[in-house]
Amino acid sequence: IQIYRGDVTLHPGPRTDWTHALQGRYPKWHCGNIQLEFGSCTGITGGGRWLQLGDWRIAGVDNAHFSISHRGGQTAQIYRSDGTVHPGPRTDYNVWGWQGEYHDTQVKFGDHFLQLGEFRLGQVDETHFSISHSGGQTIMIFRSDGTLHGGPRTDYNLWWKPLGEPIGVTFGDRFVQIEKFRLGDVDSTHFSVSHVGGQTIQIYRNDGTIHSGPRTDYTTFGRPLEECFVVAP
C-alpha cells in the first residue's frame, strides 16, 4: 500500500514488491508490552487452541480432533477424542487457514503439560509422554525407549492435574520442552517428538507421512533453551 524510504520519500501502491522482507520472518505475537516482545520465542506463536513451532502447527482443531499439520497444507496426523489415531497424508484438519481465530486466550499450562482446547500434551513421568483428551481417553503414549503405545486407553492421562504455572515447560528455537521430552520443528520438513536420552519417538514429514522410532536422528535436543514467552496478541 505504501513504502516509506530512508530518504523521506513515499512510494505508494498498488504493488507487490518488498513484502518478502516481512513475510519471511517468523511471527511474534505480543500484547503491547515491549518487555514481553523482547522475550518472545524464536519461531513460536500460539492461541488458546493452537501452537506454532516453525513451519508446523499443533492444534485442538475442535473438541474431538487434535492435529499436527504443516504450512505446506499436509496434515501428518490426527488424534481423536475416542482414543484413535488417523495418519496422513491428508489435507483436512489443517489449521494453517486460521488467522485471527482463537487468539482471544493464551495457551494453557500446568505441572508438566500444556493444554490446547480439550487436549493435553505432557510428561506423565520421566519415561512416558502422552496426548490425552478431557473425556478421559489417552490417545498416544510416547516412551523414552523410542516406542509408541496407542489408545484407546485411559491410563497415563493428564487431566487429573489442575491448570497453573508452566512447571517443567520451557521453550527454545522452534521447540517446546516438557521436562525430558521435546516437540519441535527440526528443519521445516520434519517435526519430531524426542527424549533427552537420545531416542526420537516419532517423526512427522511435510509430505504428510509419519516415521516411528526407535531411532536417534531428527531430534531437536542440542538447541539451547530460551527465556521467552508464548503470548496471545
Question: What DSSP state is assigned to residue 146?
Answer: S
State percent of the chain over pLDDT 90: 67
Query: Is pLDDT at 29 greater than 60 in this prediction?
Result: no
Query: Is pLDDT at 39 greater than 60 in this prediction?
Result: no
Burial of 170 per CB tally in 10 Å (0-12, 13-18, 19+): middle
Sheet holding 56-60, edge to edge: 44-46, 50-53, 56-60, 65-70, 75-80, 85-90
Residue-level pLDDT at 229? 60
Rounded mean pLDDT, 92-113 = 79
Lowest mean pLDDT among 27-41, 151-165, 203-217: 27-41
Q: Which of the pair, 119 or 30, is modelled with greater confidence?
A: 119
Residue-level pLDDT at 105? 59
Residue-level pLDDT at 37? 38
Calpha distance 73→219 (Å, rounded): 23
Rounded mean pLDDT, 157-179 = 93
- pLDDT digit string, tens, across residues 126-143: 999 999 999 999 999 999
Backbone torsion region of residue 39, taken as left when φ is above 0, otherwise alpha when ψ lies between -120 and 50, otherwise beta: alpha
Q: Which of the pair, 9 or 77, is modelled with greater confidence?
A: 77
Rounded mean pLDDT, 139-167 = 96
Calpha distance 180→186 (Å, rounded): 17
State percent of the chain over pLDDT 70: 85
